[in-house]
Amino acid sequence: MAEDWPKIKARRITTISPWVAIVEREVEFTAGAASELYHAVGQRDYIAIVAVTPDRKIPIVRQYRPALERFTWELPAGLVDKGEAAAETCNRELMEETGFPAKTVYALGTYAPCTSRLSNQMHSLFVETGSRAASAQTEAGIELRLVTPAELAALILTGELVLQLHIGAIMLAGMRGYLDLEAFKPV
């Protein structure tokens, strides 16, 4: 009987924009109990890329984030297009945001970015890049910086790289053996 509950009695989706929807769920937790309404933000899945260049630098990007009303440093990342695999999104976003081609892509894991309010998933990937072409450019509005693990740690600790999901992707890369987390001691 416990496996029969909770039950979704109704689901309504209100599309706000091409990027966001509000998902309302009517949930019955036990037999005969009054249903309760829960709301979540519906978005496409997204990816975060922990990349290492041939000279062992980590590419990060700076861009303006209207939700925070400021610029932030982040890992290259992006939304997964409909019908696109996370690895394809990774290749596309890495090139658009950094100009580096992905040589080898490793899946670090797929997780929920926020179990209480978001209904999408985040795919974390580790990439060994190829060399950046001299003519490569970044997407408009994006500044590229190549950092060492210690420099990246300092950006995290000073709050310049604030996206917790990206900090988690870095930790996953270390846990899976792609990064030496001991190198993340700030200078």
Query: CB neighbours of 1 closer than 8 A, spacing ≥ 6?
Result: 31
C-alpha span between 23 and 31 (Å, rounded): 23
Residue with tokens 């689901």: 11
Query: Average pLDDT, stretch 74-95?
Result: 96
Residue 164 backbone class (left: φ over 0; alpha: ψ -120 to 50; beta: rest): alpha
Q: Count of residues for the chain?
A: 187
Q: Are 7 and 27 in contact (CB under 8 A)?
A: yes
> What was the pLDDT predicted at 185?
78
Which of 49, 113, 37 lies closest to 75, judged by CA?
A: 49
Query: Average pLDDT, stretch 31-38?
Result: 93
Tokens of 79: 């939304």
* pTM, 2 dp: 0.90
Asked whether the predicted pLDDT for residue 1 surpasses 60, the reply is no
pLDDT in tens, 53-72: 999 999 999 999 999 999 99
pLDDT in tens, 174-184: 999 999 888 88
Tell me, what DSSP letter sits at residue 141? T
118 beta partners: 41
Asked whether the predicted pLDDT for residue 187 surpasses 70, the reply is no
C-alpha span between 183 and 153 (Å, rounded): 9
Query: Average pLDDT, stretch 61-87?
Result: 95
Establish how many alpha carbons lie within 13 A of residue 118's alpha carbon, considering only the half-sphere containing its beta carbon.
14
> What was the pLDDT predicted at 183?
83
Instruction: Read off φ and ψ for residue 156, nearest 5 degrees.
Output: -70, -50
Asked whether the predicted pLDDT for residue 108 surpasses 60, the reply is yes
Which of 92, 113, 112 lies closest to 49, judged by CA?
A: 92
C-alpha 131: how far from chain center: 23
Q: Are 41 and 118 in contact (CB under 8 A)?
A: yes
Asked whether the predicted pLDDT for residue 121 surpasses 80, the reply is yes
> What was the pLDDT predicted at 2?
61
Asked whether the predicted pLDDT for residue 164 surpasses 70, the reply is yes
State the chain's mean pLDDT as an integer.
94
Q: Are 63 and 142 in contact (CB under 8 A)?
A: yes
The CA–CA distances, whole Å, from 141 to 48, 56, 125, 186 equal 18, 25, 23, 28
